[in-house]
Amino acid sequence: MAILAVLVLLGIRACQSTQGPPLRPWHTIVPVELSANAIRKSNWPAYVEAEKRMFDSLHLRLQSEMEPSDRTPLNRYHDGSLASPGAFERDWNRSYVLEPSGAASGVAVLVHGLTDSPYSMRSLAELYRQHGLVAIVPRMPGHGTVPAGLTREGRKEWEAAVEMAMAEARRRSADCLPVQLVGYSNGAALAMLHVMRRIESGLPGDVDRVVLISPMVEVNRFARYAGLAGLPAIFGRYAKSAWLDVLPEYNPFKYNSFPIRAARESYLVTADLQAAMETVARQGRMAQVPPVLAFQSVVDDTVTADGVMTRLFDKLPANGSELVLFDVNRKRILDPMLRSSATGLPSKALQTSSRSYTLTLVGAVSGDDPAVVARSRLPGAHALQVQATGLNYPNDVYSLSHVALPFPANDPLYGNVPSGRRVIQFGTIAVRGERNTLVVSQDSLSRLSYNPFYEYMAVRIVAQMPLAGTGRQKVSESRCGIAL
């Protein structure tokens, strides 16, 4: 009976895949990238050079296979469009390094998220550079090119790319300067997985502090079985069943179309992370985990704040880690429109004093005052610490979102401060009309794309950076090989 039900569902899935817009070249052309084994044997210069060759080849093929109807003002693959990466000062889809103006006080490796690109780490990388650290931002294989890239590349290649970037960080730090590992969304899971893999393998730690943005430590349960939904794709007529979404590509640095395999691979990253954490715990080595500072919206359509607490932070040792939660807008007029699941968690979480990490809630205290404060409960503390931020909760924002956190309001792509450039800017989009008319969801266009509290987050991250000229004081003696 169960087999029959599965066959019926697969039949329905196959029929559904024949509807909607056809696949375009960016859905069918699969770039050839280095294998996971080749990446591990490579180094940063070789990886960047292979990346350049791949991008050049892909661009030529796309231009030859696109039809006139594909050359629209909002197609990222049409040179000269408002969504073209060429409209920016550099193609942020590619791996890059930002160098400080003087001697480096440390090194930071920043790992972007699923369907994203190195652009999403642009502002944070610049923050690290400005404060004297070398910022290394690798492009995860399958990203920054065409959505079809994620039908081939997956977690093994992503893990290898993180390892390769961390090897470059160790080289630049000479195993003496502090190294920070920063991860956003799926990149956060990859960052923690790198840390846990080294510990469980008995390798010396190569990270002094971890910073996580919207950490994807769990995903929707559907992702576990997503591969089944793509089975009809083995027959050419049902090729679109391999995709959860087939949409116009109007974002220069992030895919809108989403292949099923990417969901499955992302789930497997989180599963691998949980397994690695369990292994490290059994080995009695959790004390080797470096301090973790994470930022998370209390409402997140990708990963729940409760999941971040229970599946990650509650398992960490008492090592000075901190989870910062961005609250919803408590304005009275909005309160009746918010689901109780969005408003209940924050106050309940702050009541617990038995955690081994600091929990901080950033938001307004009451519905009558938009002033945002940071309320923190330190491990074992009975009283809350309250600190003013100097920020107000924007009237037109009811919550942050999973994708918003790494982008300041003046981001030229995602911010709401007009950039003056001839490019699309998602934070300023306001489209109105009848529902069920657009090929993209109205929710996706109205989803908050920037962080109104980015300044607070930046201050907190900077406070954890090594000071110029004093990097060695924060590195263990075993790492540096000198007396501190």
Full DSSP string of 305-320: HHHHHHHTGGGS-SSS
Residue 128 lies in a domain: yes
Which pLDDT band, with edges at 50, 70 and 90, does 475 fall under?
Answer: low
Q: What is the pLDDT of residue 243?
A: 92
Which of 222, 255, 265 lies closest to 27, judged by CA? 255
Mean pLDDT of 387-397: 92
The predicted pLDDT at position 222 comes to: 58
pLDDT at 236 over 50: no
227, part of any domain: yes
Which pLDDT score, from 0 to 100, does residue 478 have? 45
Q: Comparing 129-133, 226-230, 324-328, 405-409, which segment has the lowest mean pLDDT?
A: 226-230
Q: What is the pLDDT of residue 479?
A: 52
DSSP 8-state symbol, 383 = S
Question: Helices marked H in 299-447 — which ranges?
Answer: 305-311, 340-350, 442-446
Give yes or no: residues 274 and 414 share one domain. Answer: no
Tell me the pLDDT tens digit for each residue of 273-289: 999 999 999 999 999 99
**In which residue are the tokens 């090929």 written?**
439
Give the residue among 389, 457, 406, 343 at the shortest CA–CA distance from 214.
406
Hey, what amino acid is at 154? Answer: G
pLDDT per residue over 14-23, tens digit each? Answer: 444 444 578 9
pLDDT at position 235:
39
- The reply to whether 277 and 424 lie within a common domain is no
Task: Please say if the pLDDT value at position 33 is more than 90.
Answer: yes
Residue 390, helix vs strand vs coil: strand
* pLDDT at residue 315 tops 50: yes
pLDDT at 15: 44
Classify strands 209-213 and 179-184 as parallel, antiparallel or unpaired: parallel
Q: Quote the pLDDT of residue 471.
A: 42
Apex CA 122: angle with CA 120 and CA 126, to 5°?
150
Non-local (6+) Cβ contacts of 72 within 8 A are 78, 81
Confidence at 368, pLDDT banded by 50, 70, 90 = confident
**Helix, strand and coil in the chain, % to nearest 5:** 40, 15, 45
Average pLDDT over residues 24-36: 96
Higher model confidence: residue 428 or residue 226?
Answer: 428
Please tell me the predicted confidence (pLDDT) of residue 219. Answer: 72
At 360, list the tokens.
Answer: 């901080």
The vertex-89 CA angle with 466 and 71, nearest 5°, equals: 135
Using one digit for the tens of pLDDT, what is the confidence trace for 91-146? Answer: 999 999 999 999 999 999 999 999 999 999 999 999 999 999 999 999 999 999 99
**What is d(CA 234, CA 17) in angstroms, rounded to the nearest whole number?**
12
User: pLDDT: is 310 or 238 the higher one?
Assistant: 310
Contact 327, 375 (CB under 8 A): no
State residue 2's pLDDT score: 47
- Between CA 96 and CA 105, with CA 100 as vertex, the angle to 5 degrees is 115
Structure tokens given for 379: 């491990």
As a whole number of angstroms, the distance between CA 285 and CA 317 comes to 10
Q: How far is CA 195 from the centre of its chain?
A: 17
Q: Contact 249/33 with Cβ under 8 angstroms?
A: no
Identify the pLDDT of residue 426: 86
Question: Is 54 part of any domain?
Answer: yes
Residues in the chain: 484
pLDDT of residue 7: 41
Burial 361-392 (b: 16+ CB within 10 A, else e): bbbbeeeeebebbbbbbbeeeeebeeeeeebe
Whether the predicted pLDDT of 457 surpasses 80: yes
Report CA-CA distances (Å) from 477 to 209, 321, 405, 481, 483: 16, 21, 35, 5, 6
Question: Any idea what the CATH number is for the domain that residue 200 is in?
Answer: 3.40.50.1820
- Is residue 220 in a domain? yes
Give me the pLDDT at residue 483, please: 30
By DSSP bridging, strand 179-184 and strand 133-137 are unpaired
Rounded average pLDDT over 422-437: 77
**Is the pLDDT assigned to residue 9 strictly greater than 50?**
no
Is the pLDDT at 11 greater than 50? The verdict is no
pLDDT of residue 5: 41
* Domain assignment of residue 95, yes or no: yes
Percent of the chain with pLDDT over 70: 86
CA pair distance 196, 283, nearest whole angstrom: 11
Q: Please indicate, yes or no, if residue 87 is contained in any of the structural domains.
A: yes
Reduced to 3 states (helix: H, G, I; strand: E, B; else coil), residue 324 is strand
> If you average pLDDT over residues 365-389, what whole number do you get?
89
Residues 272 and 414 occupy one common structural domain: no
Q: How far apart are CA 208 and CA 108, in angstroms?
A: 10
Tokens of 156: 């093994």
Structure tokens at 7: 């066959």
Look at residue 319 and tell me if it is in a domain: no
Maximum distance among all Cα pairs of the chain, rounded to whole angstroms: 69
Percent of the chain with pLDDT over 90: 67
Kindly report, residue by residue over 37-92, the tens digit of the pLDDT: 999 999 999 999 999 999 999 999 999 999 999 999 999 999 989 999 998 989 99
Could you tell me if 118 and 93 are in contact, meaning their C-beta atoms sit under 8 angstroms apart?
yes
Count CB neighbours of 221 within 10 A.
Answer: 9
Of 416, 405, 440, give the one whose Cα is nearest residue 113. 405
Q: Which range marks the domain in which residue 442 is found?
A: 409-450
Confidence of residue 370 (pLDDT cuts 50, 70, 90): confident
Least confident of 310-314, 333-337, 473-477: 473-477
> What integer is the mean pLDDT of 182-188?
98
Please count the structural domains in the chain.
2
Mean pLDDT of all residues belonging to the chain: 87
348 vs 341, residue with greater confidence: 348
Residue 34 within any structural domain of the chain = yes
Between CA 1 and CA 7 the distance in angstroms is 10
Residue 449 pLDDT > 60, yes or no? yes
Find the mean pLDDT for residues 396-424.
89
